[in-house]
Structure 1
Amino acid sequence: MNFDWNDIEVFLAVARSGTLSAAGRQLNRSQPTIGRRIQQLEKQLSLTLFTRTPYGYKLTENGNSLIETAEEIQQKMDQLKGCVKLLNEQPSGVVNIACGESFARLLMDNMGRLTFQYPEISIQIQTGIQFVNLEKGEADIAIRSQRPTNPNLYVRFLGHCRYAVYASSAYVFQHPESRTEQRAESCRWISYHDSESVLPVTRWLRQQVPPEQIKLYCSTLMALLQGVKSGQGLAALPIFVGKQSQDLIQLTPALTDLNQETWLVLNRNAGRVQAIKAVSTWIGEIFDQLDDGCFRI
């Protein structure tokens, strides 16, 4: 049995409205066209679906038997059309990303690829270590150093962010002990401010370096990085950040006792929005392309 699936829409319109003219107005087709489609459907099914009366069309017993199934098919067809529309539409809208400063720098360095592929997407990046509630819409996507336990959140492990100790070439020249194992006790160090003490790198520094050797405290990565560049001391930096600064010298291999877990997090329902899905895929690709020296799975 072969028939036009669009005739289901015509069948339902006539069944609901009771007349060919009303169904025609609903579907933006002429009354004769609607009549021909009903006749064609009845012929293809070998069933009489309507009783013709002076007052309109009334469902027969056969028609009543098919109405529920026809409505289910129509609903599925509408869902299919909606899915196809989403797939064909260019993702657009504002996507809010919450992450630390180092990852914000990484995203900015790769932003050109996203804007070229999805010019209708706008990105809003909020940096800081404060917690954002994705379920309340405070952000669409977050990059976090701890895995959330909320089952309503989608999480993807991005890898371990690897750190090393860095200093400026001028500082290393003036303080050759910075290249030795005595650097913790003999060199000046730069750390994040106490308000940033939840950061793994801050906790590591407190364990490794005497407090009297920490001479400069910063609340932002930009300030800390500038302090290292200007020769104010040593600092533990993400290797992918240190590599971007040609005037910095990496003094240690990747620190084995400082591997910061990194997780991509988004609301499960938000993941169905095309723009958010596109941006989360882009973020995953950025981290996948980092070499093992900077990032380790």
Structure 2
Amino acid sequence: MRLLRHRRLAATPREGGDPVFVGFDEQNAHLPDALWLTQQFPKVRVAIRAGNHMLQRIAAREGAGLALLPHYVARAEPRLRLCVVGPTPPQRELWMVTRRDDGRNPAIRAVGDALVNAFDANQSLFQAPG
């Protein structure tokens, strides 16, 4: 994940201004992304709070502020660009959990294998550009 902004956003730390963020709403303040953002930028101004990454992407696209988005979400919006303003958020693992007995079920195993193959084939979507 990286902080992304729309090209029209006026003030960024590199341009001498204080960053303005698109943040998480209070129902999602416990999520790892929201916690990291609060820890790294405790006094930053939040222009808008949204409950999911899709709404945050829209707000960033419209110039509301910087948004901490997964790469695969941000890449779907060509008007956003990478804006590094601090340390890189830690990567997170993705787990698929099934019950022990489900491992023998051919349908569940097929879905699990398909998901693993899909993520393997599309790794570049989940990694930082360049």
TM-score interval, normalised by the smaller of the two chains: 0.7 to 0.9
| SS in structure 2 at match of 1:236 | strand
- Give the drift of 1:233: 0.5
* TM alignment of 1:133-148, pairs within 5 A: none
Show structure 1 runs of 5+ residues with no match.
Answer: 1-162
Is 2:8 the counterpart of 1:170? yes
From 265, 277, 297, the equivalent of 2:97 is 265
**In the alignment, is residue 248 of structure 1 matched against residue 86 of structure 2?**
no
Output aligned runs, 1:65-144, within 5 Å: none
Which residue of structure 1 lines up, in the alignment, with residue 106 of structure 2? 274
Over the aligned positions, Cα root-mean-square deviation in angstroms equals: 2.6
Distance 1:294 1:284 in 2: 14
Structure whose residues are more often strand by fraction = 1
Give runs of aligned pairs for residues 28-47 of structure 1, distance below 5 A. none
Q: 1:264 aligns to what SS in structure 2?
A: coil
Give 1 or 2 for the bigger CA radius of gyration: 1
Per-residue CA distance 1:89-118 (angstroms, 9 max, x = gap): xxxxxxxxxxxxxxxxxxxxxxxxxxxxxx
Q: Percent identity?
A: 24
For residues 181 and 206 of structure 1, do their structure 2 counterparts lie closer, same or farther at Cα, with a shift above 3 Å needed?
Answer: farther
> How far apart, in 1, do the equivalents of 2:2 and 2:115 lie?
23
Q: Which residue of 1 aligns with 2:52?
A: 220
Aligned residue identity for 2:102? A
**Contiguous gaps of at least 5 residues in structure 2:** none
Structure 1 counterpart of 2:8, which letter?
A
CA contact (8 A) 2:19 2:44 kept: no
The alpha-carbon deviation at position 182 of structure 1 amounts to 6.1
Asked whether the 8 Å contact 2:23–2:50 carries over to 1, the reply is yes
> What is the alpha-carbon distance in structure 2 between the residues aligned to residue 286 and residue 204 of structure 1?
28
TM-score by length of 1: 0.39
Please report how far the alpha carbon of residue 257 of structure 1 lies from its aligned counterpart in structure 2 after TM superposition: 3.8
The 2-side partners of 1:248 and 1:230 are apart by 9
Q: Kindly indicate whether the alpha-carbon contact (under 8 Å) linking 1:168 and 1:230 is maintained by their aligned counterparts in 2.
A: yes
Matched AA of 1:236: L
Match of 1:285 in 2: 117
CA distance in 2, matches of 1:211, 1:202: 14
Q: Which amino acid aligns with 1:169?
A: R
Corresponding residue SS for 2:92: strand
1:199 aligns with 2:31: yes
Change (3 A) 1:295 1:276: farther
Q: Does 1:210 align with 2:42?
A: yes
Distance 1:273 1:293, change over 3 A: closer
Rounded to whole Å, the distance in 1 between the matches of 2:112 and 2:16 is: 43
> Could you tell me which amino acid in structure 1 is paired with residue 84 of structure 2?
T
Contact 1:201–1:258 (CA<8 Å) still a contact in 2? no
Q: CA deviation at 1:228?
A: 1.0
> CA–CA distance in 2 between the matches of 1:222 and 1:241?
7
